[in-house]
Structure 1
Amino acid sequence: MLNTEPTLNLLQPVRIGGVVIDPPLFLAPMAGQTNYAFRTLCRLMGDCGLVCTELISSAALQHKSTRDKSFQRFDWREDEHPFAVQLFGSDPAVMAEAARVVVDHGAAIVDINMGCWVPKVAKKGGGAALLKDLDSAVAVVEAVVNAVAVPVTVKVRSGWTADHPTAVPFARAAEQIGVKAVAVHARFADQGFTGQADWDMIRQVKDAVHTIPVIGNGDVYTAADARRMLLETGCDGVMLGRAALGNPWVFRQIAHELRTREPLPLPSLAERAQAALHQARLTLETTKFDPIVAIRELRGQLVKYVEDLPDPSVRERIVRAESLADIESALADYL
């Protein structure tokens, strides 16, 4: 039977340890995407309850190698507080030390990555590969929980493969250890981003734990998607990743529609161009990378804002951009 709970009640604040997330709409950590500039835009546009860094190598943080590219992605600033830092790795002691480092630098929440399936991470036993061996996963989580006083959360996949679903038993174990929230991307690791997210896994995890919030993730792009996930799974909050790329307004749009049942107007072409330019300028003002490296990474981020502009040459010019001036020139007609 359809849950007829009033829409207004769907966005209740979520407590993760001592951190209150209101509204419970989360920006997913995404490699090469969720840098300081993009996180700032999501917060400025409104109703993004919590931002998180890109996944960061625990080994790089342990050695404090400032020349390491992963270490350079630890780019938080005071105006983001509270914020989460996501770590990946498979060695409990190294993960514990990395957690201490980020907490010493102000992290309000430490998130453990058990969802990344890309070979660079998984081949070393980190990310979603930890879900192949629950004993190893539990050892990593326990070490981090014992190392820091701030809340520890975990982002998982449904499991490594469909014939080995592990999200439910892991969530039960994580709750017992002291994890304060679990986010579930409802696909198996070997799916990548293919196929459709099976939200029933989120429901199963929610049913399996008793004292911690469960955050649903996977295939939420609109307020209707978010509403359906919340009602069908009973999850406490919604995490958005790809839906936010080139669309930092999505949190505000979802929150407004869930509260009022009325959609907000879509951003104009000028607003989209202005947001893209703001992200570009802020990235270059704050990046720890060489400007050329930052520009090349920016290209893939900024094209999301202009994918459906009537003039396809704008996208082509951004893809070829080598400087901020090139980006400004490409967007000039829409500003």
Structure 2
Amino acid sequence: MRIGPYHLSTPLILAPMAGVTDRPFRQLCRELGAGMAVSEMVSSNSLLWGSEKTRRRADHRGEDEPRSVQIMGADPQMMADAARFNVANGAQIIDINMGCPAKKVCNVQAGSALLRDEALVGRILNAVVGAVDVPVTLKIRTGWDRESRNGVEIARIAENAGIQALAIHGRTRADGYSGDAEYDTIAAIKSVLTIPVFANGDITTPEKARQVLDATGADAVMIGRAAQGRPWIFREMEHFLRTGERLPEPSLAEIRDILLGHLNNLYAFYGEYTGVRMARKHISWYSKGQRHGAAFRQAVNREDSAEQQRQMVDEFFNRLIADGEMAA
């Protein structure tokens, strides 16, 4: 599958997630089988571009191609400016956020709130596509609520504006993350488009990835929450899609090593103070479901030192490994 000049090595894409898909996590998911990883969303408000947070989000050093950056806003000219700013800082694909359901985003008429104004959607898409010479993609939901599902109309507007791929989270904004994803709606949208479509929502296993691709006709699946604490889900999905067989689960030793490598990259990227704090949620996700995980999380979340945090992770997994060997 291609997006403009870029060939995706697998039909598996890491979804943009605020506070999660930073450069260390994107690089890790790419190493473990994601064909593309989309950045956290960057505001179109130029007053924020000088902030440390935005500078980090615009840092793509060492990332594999294609480097996709998501922008968020509601003003066509500001969105065009944001697209130019991010391309100048290394973005090779610009992704437009019209899917975020968060209240603070919708309250400024951005994210999925834009789905209520199809004319404005068209103006934003035309402005961004016309502003840059890189591919522009779009992420949407199926509509604002179940009484106003207009995903098909938005998709047609997008393709006519020159959008080169469309990601669809199979829920309305009103649904949030509850209920089942609407794969039938994604299939209906795919049926009217010639550009690639990415199906998103509730894709948590290799078997589900296969089912969703078959049910929707989508060209790729986009994985979000299922990759939190399980970045190897991409290699599992890639192997299953290619062979129809399940890869064995990673060993505790491999999970430990992946997590320790992830922590080291977080400390290097953010510095110790912020890195330790960013690491806490990842440690929680990786340790979810492990024996004595709750007590471990309670203890490790009190640590402020990178060295101590790393040591506690190492000791926790080594104990699990030793206990497993004794049980065997």
Q: Deviations over 1:85-129 (max 9, x none)?
A: 000000110110110011112211100001111112111111111
Aligned residue pair count = 316
**What amino acid does structure 2 have at the position aligned with 1:53?**
S
Structural RMSD (CA) = 1.5
2:28 is the counterpart of 1:41 = yes
Distance 1:182 1:16 in 2: 10
CA contact (8 A) 2:44 2:73 kept: yes
Residue in structure 1 matched with residue 283 of structure 2 by the alignment: 302
**What amino acid does structure 1 have at the position aligned with 2:292?**
D
2:311 is the counterpart of 1:311 = no
SS in structure 1 at match of 2:85: helix
SS in structure 2 at match of 1:80: coil
Distance 1:128 1:239 in 2: 17
Distance 2:88 2:49 in 1: 16
Counterpart selection for 2:118 from 129, 134, 145? 134
2:257 is the counterpart of 1:270 = no
SS in structure 2 at match of 1:200: helix
**What amino acid does structure 2 have at the position aligned with 1:28?**
A
Distance 1:323 1:48 in 2: 31
Q: CA deviation at 1:76?
A: 1.6
Counterpart selection for 2:44 from 58, 67, 76? 58
**What amino acid does structure 2 have at the position aligned with 1:212?**
I
SS in structure 1 at match of 2:144: coil
CA contact (8 A) 2:269 2:275 kept: no
**What amino acid does structure 1 have at the position aligned with 2:27?**
T
Counterpart selection for 2:215 from 229, 232, 235? 232
Q: Deviations over 1:120-165 (max 9, x none)?
A: 2111111111111111111111100000010000000111111111
- Identity %, equivalent residues: 40
SS in structure 1 at match of 2:149: coil
Q: CA deviation at 1:82?
A: 1.5
Q: CA deviation at 1:199?
A: 0.8
Counterpart selection for 1:244 from 227, 239, 242? 227
Counterpart selection for 1:176 from 137, 160, 168? 160
Distance 1:302 1:153 in 2: 32
**What amino acid does structure 2 have at the position aligned with 1:185?**
H
Deviating more after overlay: 91-100 vs 313-322 = 313-322
2:307 is the counterpart of 1:325 = yes
Counterpart selection for 2:11 from 1, 4, 24? 24
Q: Which structure has more RCO (C-alpha within 8 Å, separation ≥ 6)?
A: 1
CA contact (8 A) 1:87 1:113 kept: yes
Distance 2:110 2:52 in 1: 18
SS in structure 1 at match of 2:263: helix
Moved over 4 A (4+): none
Q: Deviations over 1:286-319 (max 9, x none)?
A: 12xx642332232112211001111222222233
**What amino acid does structure 2 have at the position aligned with 1:56?**
V
**What amino acid does structure 1 have at the position aligned with 2:304?**
E
**Gap runs ≥5 in structure 1:** 1-13
**Gap runs ≥5 in structure 2:** 319-328
**What amino acid does structure 2 have at the position aligned with 1:123?**
N
Residue in structure 1 matched with residue 263 of structure 2 by the alignment: 280
**What amino acid does structure 2 have at the position aligned with 1:214?**
V
Residue in structure 1 matched with residue 195 of structure 2 by the alignment: 212
Counterpart selection for 1:202 from 186, 203, 222? 186
Q: CA deviation at 1:64?
A: 6.2
